[in-house]
Structure 1
Amino acid sequence: MSWLDEIPEAARLYLDQHRLDEVECVIADLPGIARGKAVPAAKWERQQFFHLPNSIFFQTITGDWGEAAGPEGFVEPDMILKPDLSTTTAAPWAADGTLQVIHDAFDQKGRPVGCSPRNVLKRVVDLYKAEGWTPVVAPEMEFYLVGRNVDPAKAIEPMMGRTGRPAAARQAYSMTAVDEYGPVIDDIYEYAEIQGFEIDGITQEGGAGQLEINLRHGDPVKLADEVFYFKRLIREAALKHDCFATFMAKPIEGEPGSAMHVHHSIIDAKGRNLFTGPQGGETDAFFNFIGGLQEHMPSVIAMIAPYVNSFRRYVRDHAAPINLEWGRDNRTTGIRVPISPPQARRVENRLAGMDCNPYLCIAASLACGYLGMKNEIWPDKRFRGDAYEAADEIPQGLYAALDLFDGAKELHEVLGPEFVRVYSIVKRAEYNEFLQVISPWERQHLLLNV
């Protein structure tokens, strides 16, 4: 069978109109950056796999290294990277015909590499499947379109709209605000269509130049792949129009942060929503899933809020949850049950920032719900009213979050001990890098006053 027979229809349609020049063999590292190799099309047709050193999973966001190599030392052995042809999609911004293909990482004995984010998510999904459950997720992606910023010392500013004014804040759901950057959105839609991705909707959020894209629900690995691809797609569309797209959790002082809300439901072996009973009522599994989120989410905050900047999003009364309360149709709670018919009953996790690695975020959220259902954890009483009046339940900063992460032994078995070991080392190395940077606040207030 030709590999062309195994790729999605959208990729085949692209090849009908473009001569294939290059294939980008990609894999997500811990931050979610695409690593890999660009391979000439003729070579791609002849090879079944390629190699990258395992050290790509030891890199921090700055490109430095965590000492996570293990007892063998930092010898950087090659991994075997095998293509998942179902992920094949176009790179429509490329000058020549180019495809992208996501790869899975294996060691030289054929075992999945435990610290590969896509493998971590697959591990969690497999635990569900062993119980006869099929998890379904739907991510929501928030991001900012901002002016080009090439000086890290300069504050990030909203992009200029077509009216010649900067994008306005506090215009949530405004169609006029969306029209301000219509050309960028048009290209996002066009690129998504060429790549075979379905957008469920685009809305203006509350920040200046802040947008939200909703994706259709589906398989967790497939949706994480799409978010991984979408981040690149959106960045490329923005660059075409002389602006930047940023997925920082809190890019602009005084503006709302950007989240990646994740909706979850679970399907049983007969195709029924496990959260809904025969008479349409809520099941024990529904409540246990929420209980698992409440019990275990603090221990995985380091995965869904992975940077120092991530914690600037958790501000009381500022469009991001600071708690683990659950409520019905209540956007002030960390865990929300949206309005839906019984067959579509779902649970929304509102805690993750858009700066997360989508594979690790979805894996973390599903891991918490899995332990809730396995251990029959019951949630607190439903919260009514403004949950910003409830107690803070989010770790105060990345270092505190990592301490909770390191101590969560039951979660380690779900996520994989090797991933947990490597992730903690790399994130602590990253935090130590941050401590070497002196901020403008420190220079302004401490230079002459202490």
Structure 2
Amino acid sequence: MTDMTPREVLALCREREIYAVDLRFMDFPGLQKHFTIPVSELTEQSFDEGFGFDGSSIRGWQAINESDMLVVPEASTAIVDPFMTRTLAMTCNIQDPITREDYAKDPRNVARKAERYMRSTGIADTANFGPECEFFVFDDVRFDSSQQHAFYYIDSQEGQWNRGRVEAGGNRGHKIRYGEGYFPVPPTDTLQELRTEIMLRLQECGVGVEAQHHEVASGGQCEVDLKFAPLVQSADQLLLYKYIVKNVAARHGKTATFMPKPIWNDAGSGMHLHFSLWKDAQNLFAGSGYAGLSDTALYAIGGILKHAYSVMAFACPTTNSYKRLVPGYEAPVNLTYSSRNRSAAIRIPVHSPRPENKRFEFRCPDPSSNSYLAMSAMLMAALDGIENRIDPGPPLDKDIYDLAPEELVDVARTPLSLDESLLALRKDHEFLLRGDVFTEDVIDTWIWYKSEKEIEALRQRPHPFEFAMYYDI
């Protein structure tokens, strides 16, 4: 992703003989949308005037009687699509066609306002996020839910459950043992070349990559780590990341998912967010306190821990998210902080003493989240912590999973369900409204959509495991 101007985008179109321009944006729950125009329709004026579309057909947005909306291309996000023929893609902002105001329920607009509010406080001028976004790659997936049946079936050639399977050409036996998927080499790691192609496609599109590797779970769990970037840019890159991962997997005859917990009884997928605040090119989180952090960083931790339930309504936004947040599987189930200890909700990396590397990692978010909203909520909680000097309490440097129950009495736990997070968001969202970053309408619509379209929809349907438990009752 580059910082091109509209004129430079048009020059790129001529240079690369582009004939299609893909206009992309994210809907309210967090799914990318797009439509395509011929390159002849793209002019310098387009970057101000935008293009019309039907906002009533986008989840959580406009009513049918006020459906007209505008997508306004952001030149700085332009890339040549690595999968489509002579196609340029741009991420867009959403505007009202009459008032020309940025649309409050456009997730990217929320993130842009979060950055503006941060600068208005004088605390910092840049919020850097470095995402570690995990995903699964399967060879086969089938699922359905109807009035008289519900099921899912997934398969991976490297899944430990396939050790005894009869395979074409013979079973070679290199299957990943349960809980031992971290860093195996080929042939056990069957996805090395796929991840390398993802890494290369990301770099071609201007996205910095730090590393790629197999993750802990059997059955195709992967991770490609992105370099840190300012909030809006980082969220833009995550949108592109998901697009590239899914399309590379499809080209390899496989399927990728960012569902947090697709496999029972094995590790789920997180989206750990490394976070730091900067001002005048100086890292505000470097200091002489615990784990080399400043008071500013510790107050930011205090704010995130205080508002964790509300933040997780956006950072862990699906019913499936809370199937990941259970003891074991390296999932952070206790709201505390620590250096090095990956069982804490917030971890402070200590691999480098250099001030520019000082940051902390919020480990609760998962890749089902709308990255614009999740990062914005996290930033707003951190700013509240700094402004109100919220003490995060003492760190917990012991292995949380090995602590006796009496030692965990005073350690807050992550929410058990999406219901709990949404209830907390209803009660605790004043910090999100500052600077008009999240509006009351955004909060209300989010709670309504998640409650009615997801929680209630799931609650009303029999679960396949209920037949195993209750059919002969």
Q: So what's the TM-score if we normalise by structure 2?
A: 0.85
**1:141 alignment counterpart:** 133
Answer yes or no: is 1:77 the counterpart of 2:78: no
Q: Match for 2:459 among 428, 431, 435?
A: 435
Secondary structure of the corresponding residue to residue 368 of structure 2:
coil
Which residue of 414, 427, 432 maps to 1:407?
427
In the superposition, relative to structure 1, how do residues 242 and 84 fare at CA in structure 2: closer, same or farther (>3 Å)? Answer: same
Deviates more, 1:287-296 or 1:193-202: 193-202
Indicate whether 1:183 and 2:186 are aligned: no
Structure 1 gap ranges (5+): 60-67
Instruction: Find the aligned partners of 2:365 and 2:250 in 1 and give their Cα distance.
Output: 26
Which residue is equivalent to 1:308?
Answer: 319
Deviations 1:382-439 (A, max 9, x none): 1120123334511221112111111113234143322112111111122222223221
Considering Cα pairs closer than 8 Å and 6+ residues apart, tell me whether 1 or 2 has the greater RCO. Answer: 1
| Amino acid corresponding to residue 197 of structure 1 in structure 2 | V
- Residue by residue over 1:51-73, the C-alpha shift from the partner in whole angstroms, topping out at 9 and shown as x without a partner, is 233335534xxxxxxxx75xxx6
Q: Partner of 1:292: helix, strand, or coil?
A: helix
Q: Which residue of 2 aligns with 1:397?
A: 417
Q: Distance in 1 between matches of 2:64 and 2:175?
A: 47
Task: Specify which of 216, 226, 248 is matched with residue 215 of structure 1.
Answer: 226
Deviations 1:338-380 (A, max 9, x none): 1132332101100001111111111121111111011111111
Quote the Cα distance in structure 1 between the aligned partners of 2:5 and 2:195.
36
Match of 1:376 in 2: 389
CA distance in 2, matches of 1:44, 1:166: 51
Contact 1:155 1:252 in 2 (8 A): no
Q: Does the Cα contact within 8 Å between 1:24 and 1:99 map onto a contact in 2? A: yes
The C-alpha deviation readout for 1:309-338, integer Å capped at 9, x for no partner, is 110001112211001110011101000111
Q: Distance in 2 between matches of 1:178 and 1:363?
A: 39
Alpha-carbon distance between aligned partners in 1 of 2:331 and 2:67, rounded to the nearest angstrom: 42
Deviations 1:208-232 (A, max 9, x none): 2111111111111111101111101
Which residue of the partner structure matches residue 5 of structure 1?
Answer: 8
1:241-292 residue CA offsets vs partner (Å, 9 max, x unmatched): 1111110000111110100000111112x32111224999532211100100
Match of 2:90 in 1: 101
State the secondary structure of the residue aligned to 1:251. coil
Distance 1:393 1:443, change over 3 A: same
Q: Give the AA of the match of 1:51.
A: G
Structure 1 residue 31: Cα displacement: 2.7
Q: Residues 38 and 178 from structure 1, CA distance in 2 versus in 1: closer, same or farther, beyond 3 angstroms?
A: farther
Q: 1:201, CA displacement in angstroms?
A: 0.4
Assess if the C-alpha contact under 8 Å between 1:121 and 1:360 holds in 2: yes
Q: Distance in 2 between matches of 1:57 and 1:419?
A: 15
- Offset of 1:37 from its aligned partner? 1.2
2: CA distance, partners of 1:178 / 1:21: 42
Which runs of structure 2 are paired with 1:165-204 in the superposition (5 Å)?
168-169=176-177, 170-176=180-186, 179-204=189-214
Equivalent residue number for residue 398 of structure 2: 385
Contact 1:200–1:214 (8 Å) recurs in 2: yes
Aligned to 2:282, which of 272, 276, 291?
A: 272
Contact 1:294 1:379 in 2 (8 A): yes
* 1:148-159 mapped onto 2 (5 Å cutoff): 148-152=140-144, 153-159=151-157
Does residue 1:117 correspond to 2:107, yes or no? yes
**Which position in structure 2 is the counterpart of 1:25?**
23
Amino acid at match of 1:366: L
Give the Cα separation in 2 of the matches to 1:363 and 1:249. Answer: 20
| Kept in 2: contact 1:199–1:214 (CA 8 A) | yes
Given that 1:298 and 1:393 are in contact with CA atoms closer than 8 Å, whether structure 2 keeps it comes out as: no
Structure 2 letter corresponding to 1:130? S
Partner residue in 2 for 1:425: 448
Q: Which residue of 2 aligns with 1:62?
A: none
Shift of 1:22: 0.9
8 Å CA contact retained: 2:335, 2:344: yes
Is the Cα contact below 8 Å between 2:131 and 2:271 reproduced in 1?
A: yes
- The answer (yes or no) to whether the contact 2:317–2:369 under 8 Å persists in 1 is yes
Report the count of equivalent residues.
Answer: 431
Q: Which one of 315, 323, 346 corresponds to residue 334 of structure 2?
A: 323
**Using the alignment, how far apart are the partners of 2:217 and 2:186 within structure 1?**
14
Distance in 1, Cα, partners of 2:9 & 2:233? 16
Q: 1:364 to 1:158 in 2, by over 3 A?
A: farther
Q: Which residue number corresponds to residue 65 of structure 1? A: none
Q: Which residue of structure 2 aligns with residue 351 of structure 1?
A: 364
Q: Aligned-pair distance for 1:237?
A: 0.3
Alignment counterpart, residue 258 of structure 1, candidates 269, 290, 296: 269
Deviation at 1:158, TM superposition (A): 2.3
| Partner Cα distance (1:32, 1:100) in 2 | 18
CA separation in 2, counterparts of 1:2 and 1:202? 32
- The 3 A distance-change label for structure 1 pair 226 and 56 is farther
Tell me which moved more, 123-132 or 139-148. Answer: 123-132
2:22, 2:82 → 1: CA distance? 12
CA contact (8 A) 2:111 2:376 kept: yes
Name the SS for the 1:368 alignment partner: helix
Q: State the shift of 1:44 in Å.
A: 2.5
Question: Within 2, Cα distance between the matches of 1:446 and 1:294?
Answer: 39
